[in-house]
Structure 1
Amino acid sequence: MRKMVSLPQQEELSITINVGEEFKSIVWKAQYDMDFNTECLFCFSDRITGYRVEDEQGRSGKVAVCPSCEKVNAIYF
């Protein structure tokens, strides 16, 4: 299941991330945000972690990532 999501910020400042994409913590300059008590969509781990991310062009957003399989499960605000 691959779904493209654009975060609804100013058009030139939005980052595009695919659900199911491998987490790129260094490329996206990730900072821990929060933990979610919900199941991973891909490996069914019992917890996912939220990160604030920013790409090389300064576009930012928030993603929920499984620490086990390291796939993006959701985009949140």
Structure 2
Amino acid sequence: MRRAFTIPQDEPHVTITINVGEDFKSIVWKAQYDMDFKTECLFCYSDKIKGYRVEDEWGRNGKVAVCPHCEKVNAVYL
């Protein structure tokens, strides 16, 4: 039997769950540019990836590094 996990609205540091290799969903995650990384993409070997601050519809947030060419998440960072 599984129970639904509920997040209290007053919890200030709840992070979004995003997996490496997941397609980047800039509109759904309310993405905002954060920084550039000088490293290759894990999936298409493009020479740069970009960092974004993201937030989902429930207010959970995090930071992800995304390839602008193939639009795959390469890393989750703090």
Task: Please give the TM-score of this superposition, normalised by the length of structure 2.
Answer: 0.83
Q: Which 4+ runs in 1 deviate beyond 6 A?
A: none
Residue 32 in 1 paired to residue 7 in 2? no
Distance in 1 (CA, whole Å) between partners of 2:61 and 2:15 is 6
Shift of 1:11: 8.8
1:26-60 Cα deviation digits (max 9, x unpaired): 00000000000000000000000000000000000
The structure number with the bigger radius of gyration is 2
Shift of 1:12: 7.0
Distance in 1 (CA, whole Å) between partners of 2:13 and 2:31 is 20
Which consecutive unaligned segments of at least 5 residues does structure 2 have? 1-10
- Which is strand-richer, 1 or 2? 1
* RMSD value, Cα: 1.5
Task: Please give the TM-score of this superposition, normalised by the length of structure 1.
Answer: 0.84
Q: Report the identity percentage.
A: 78
Distance in 2 (CA, whole Å) between partners of 1:49 and 1:12 is 23
Tell me how many residue pairs correspond in the alignment.
68
Match of 2:68 in 1: 67
Which consecutive unaligned segments of at least 5 residues does structure 1 have? 1-9
